[in-house]
Amino acid sequence: MKQALPRRFNVFEVEEKWQKKWEEMGVYRFDRDDKTRPTFSIDTPPPYPSGEFHMGNVLNWTYFDVVARYKRMRGCNVFFPQGWDCHGLSIEVEVERTHNIRKRDVPPDKFRKWCEQTIEKYIAMMKNSIIRLGCSVDWSTEYRTMSPDYWKLTQLSFIMSYKKGFIYQGTHPVNWCPRCETAIADAEVDYEQRKGTLHYIRFPLENSEEHLLIATTRPELLPACVAVAVYPTDDRYRKHVSRKIYVPIANRAVEIIPDEMVEPSFGTGVVMICTYGDKADVKTVLKNKLPVIIILTENGEINEKGGKYAGLSTAEARKAIVKDLEAAGLLEKTKSLQQEIGVCHRCGTPVEILEREQWFLKTRILTDKVVEAANEITWYPDYMKSRLIDWARSLDWDWVISRQRVFGTPIPMWYCKNCGEIILAKENWVPIDPKLEKPKIEKCPKCGGIDFISETDVFDTWMDSSITCAVHAGWPNHEDWRRLFPADVHPSGIDIIRTWAYYLMVRHLALFGEKPYKSCLINGMVLGADGRKMSKSLKNYVATPEVLDKYGADASRQWAASGGVTGSDIPFRWPDVEYGWRFLIKLWNAARFVCNQLKDYEPKESVEYVLQPLDKWILSKAEKLTKKVTDALETCQFNIAMEEIRNFTWHVFCDCYIEAVKDRLYKPDFYGKEKREAVQYTLYTVLYRILQLLAPITPHVTEEIYQIMYAEEKSHKSVHLSPWPTPDEKHVHVDETAEKHGDLIMAVITEVRREKAEKRMPLNTQIKKLIIYAGGKDTAEIIMEGREDISGTCKAANIEVLPKKGEGREIKPYSDIQFLAEY
Ligand SMILES: [Zn+2]
Ligand SMILES: [Zn+2]
């Protein structure tokens, strides 16, 4: 071995160097022309460029980068793409805030430009973080969902789904954010606990002096009240069912109806049904065919149907109505309460339910197929499957896919001005923006009209990102895209199973009738050191660059891999990262030692090494380790893989083996050259094995050591392109006898060293005579086999092994074996 490892190990220099070189060398390129190796495709979720690659992303990307690297070493042609999911509400909201405008204050193209500029800035920041984390992404695959190339795919998928009958237009109640002025999907509604006020309002019964008391948190919806409901068997109110009752403020009479959704114990047990206070109202209205009175505009103000309250915001209207109720003597009392309300995921504004013409994808008819596919898929961990199934089954409405926004993929659609006929873009027209271009037809196929109205809505951003499994595979541009479809793994955070995993599923089922991924790898949330969800407001937030700047990528990846069971929430603790960093230093120092000891060593295939018991012992243990790590990585148990490798490297290889063979290394004249060569061979082999097993988790340090010590002989371009170790190598195989013998010899060495330490003697203190009472003939023979390493390591001038029990210090954990040392 000609090169030496430098004493100084600068994590940051090494990591940056390899990140550049890997890209230059094209180590992680997928080879589409290679038809011999099996493919392994990762459905990398294109992140929403928020500018911040947070510790949750570090956890997520580490998981699937470990999988990518492992599969590459297993001989797979790994496809690891990376895109950016650009469109969407949060960027628009940000642009509106930074420029202090609303979306319609500026021309759409100008607004789009601003969005694109913001996105590009964020992509650059996130890309830098992914590279700094050492992810083995094939950057030649990089894409942006806001580019025309990608518009084409989203629009094409819409046209296909339309033709297959999965798309419809309809007026159906939708979740509506009045601030963002757009429909939003169920998955974009967050639920928050907020303080509200329950108003007890008197509703006079028709033809009677009596009234019923109704408790509501939303008196501003009185003008939209279309019925009053009670629980069917509620004895207090049963007699009133089918009677009419006056709605205060609105001064209309509505019917009292029985409804099982009424909770008799809430408020007074009488509720008003409004269009719409919540989803329960939607169900009751549909079931009873009640009229619909929408009193809100798209920006959340009361419209003309609200009478004198028209033009007020909901909050203003609430105040005014409460005041009027009080004046009329109809407000009996108020009470404050904690309530759960739905708010916009992007801006936190309470969500309303409005009716507006929208485009829908028929998702509910796919529920059985989603359940079937979820059961076929391998989930890591398995119990996550039920999250997808429960979510699919819980959905009341189809997916509303249109949005009344600017920064999104346009819906490729026009309407005949004369007869209203829908003109759907043809497959070869896309990408197209119907706001800028006319349909490429002469006249309306139905009425011959020549004027068309453009669809101004855009797609929900999930329409872009929910086709990635097919897009990554190369659909529709590569004829052989089905080679990479379904994806081998779809990685997802536990919090986005209901969106990402679900939308991918329904979209691909609708388009191709097939599940889009074979397995789903779930990561939990990152918690603060205090065990609570990491968040800036809780002051337990740690930014990724801070961690990478302090300890580098390989240490951070060790935290991610070892933090906990896959799928569980993982706390971020600085000591965990620091431990990872100390492990790297330990590994480096061990490699330096090995490298120095191998200066005169040439690895030779043909040589029959004279392996000693401890050499065979560690080689067998290295093989067992390989099996454990392989099993763990096959089942995505990263924490087990990490702990096994670290324990072996630190405690078995460094603390035990290296210490026990130093004397043999230093004194070839005494022990014989061939016994030294056996150590050299063993060190060379075991260190290489450690590097290979570690490579998926700590890619940089392992590459650096590999390139200096092994690249010439092993002749793989990178450790990451070296084949995963298999047990058929000449000396490296599980040997239970060798392990049993080695364990015993190592126990003797450890106990003698422990005694010296307890007596506060230096470890190199000479022992004049070491007597070992082996307790039996067999054990005595084993110890005799290892006596050279024992006496060398313990500095015993004389060693005597007796096959009987005797006096002295017990050698743990062997209760029959003792020793006496004369110093
Ligand atoms: Zn909003
Ligand atoms: Zn027409």
Query: What is the per-residue pLDDT for 218?
Result: 94
618 alpha carbon to ligand 1 midpoint, in Å? 61
Task: Give the C-alpha separation, 325 to 219, whole Å.
Answer: 9
Other beta carbons within 10 Å of 489:
24
Ligand with an atom nearest the CA of residue 419: 2
**Phi, psi (deg, nearest 5) at residue 412:** -80, 80
CA of 431 to the centre of ligand 1 (A): 28
User: What is the reported pLDDT for 529?
Assistant: 86
Residue 719's CB is within 10 A of a number of other CB atoms, namely 24
| Token code pair at residue 817 | 């074996």
* pLDDT score at 754: 95
What is the secondary structure of 741-800 as a DSSP string? HHHHHHHHHHHHHHHHHHTT--TT--BSEEEEE-SSHHHHHHHHHTHHHHHHHHTBS-EE
Work out the number of other CB atoms within 10 angstroms of the CB of residue 781: 13
Q: What token pair was written down for 468?
A: 């990635």
Task: Tell which residue, 523, 514, 676, 521, has the closest CA to residue 601.
Answer: 676
Q: Each residue of 679-708: b (16+ CB within 10 Å) or e?
A: bbbbbbbbbbbbbbbbbbbbbbbbbbbbbb
pLDDT at 186: 80
Phi-psi region of 187 (alpha: psi -120 to 50; beta: other; left: phi over 0): alpha
Determine the pLDDT at residue 287: 87
Report how far residue 116's alpha carbon sits from residue 143's, in angstroms, rounded to the nearest whole number.
14
Q: Taking every pair of C-alpha atoms in the chain, what is the biggest distance, in angstroms?
A: 117
Which token pair is 152? 């084409």
- From the CA of 445, the nearest ligand is 2
β-strands 352-361, 270-274: how paired? Answer: unpaired
Spatial distance between the Cα atoms of 135 and 138, rounded to a whole number of angstroms: 9
Q: Please identify every stretch of the chain with a pLDDT value under 50, giving residue numbers as ranges.
A: none
Ligand 2 center to residue 441 CA distance, Å?
12
> Quick one: which ligand is closest to 404's CA?
1
Q: Is the pTM of this model over 0.75?
A: yes
423 CA from centroid of ligand 2 (Å):
9
Cα–Cα distance measured from residue 27 to residue 170, given in angstroms and rounded to the nearest whole number: 50
The alpha carbon of 350 and the centre of ligand 1 are apart by a number of angstroms equal to 8
Helix (H, G, I), strand (E, B) or coil at 356: strand
| Nearest-5° Cα angle at 763, 760 to 764 | 125
pLDDT score for 8: 87
Q: What confidence score (pLDDT) does residue 215 get?
A: 94
Say which ligand is closest to the CA of 415.
Answer: 2
Q: Measured between alpha carbons, how far is residue 749 from residues 94, 656, 761 in Å?
A: 66, 9, 15
Place of tokens 């500026």: 106
Q: How far apart are CA 302 and CA 298, in angstroms?
A: 10
Q: Which ligand is nearest to the CA of 439?
A: 2
The pLDDT, as a whole number, for residue 176 is 93
| Residues 770-816 pLDDT 10s | 999 999 999 999 999 999 999 999 999 999 999 998 889 999 999 99
Beta-bridge partners for 313: 301
Ligand nearest to the CA of 423: 2
DSSP 283: H
What is the Å distance from ligand 1's center to 96 Cα?
12
> Who's near 277: CB < 8 A, 6+ residues apart?
216, 218, 221, 353
Ligand with the closest atom to the CA of 351: 1
What CA–CA distance (Å, rounded) separates 61 from 674?
Answer: 47
> What's the pLDDT tens digit per position in 694-721?
999 999 999 999 999 999 999 999 999 9
So what's the pLDDT on residue 2? 65
3-state secondary structure of 16: helix
Up-side HSE of residue 168: CA atoms within 13 Å toward CB?
10
- DSSP tally for the chain: helices H, then strands E: 24, 29
Distance 610 CA to ligand 1 centre (A): 73
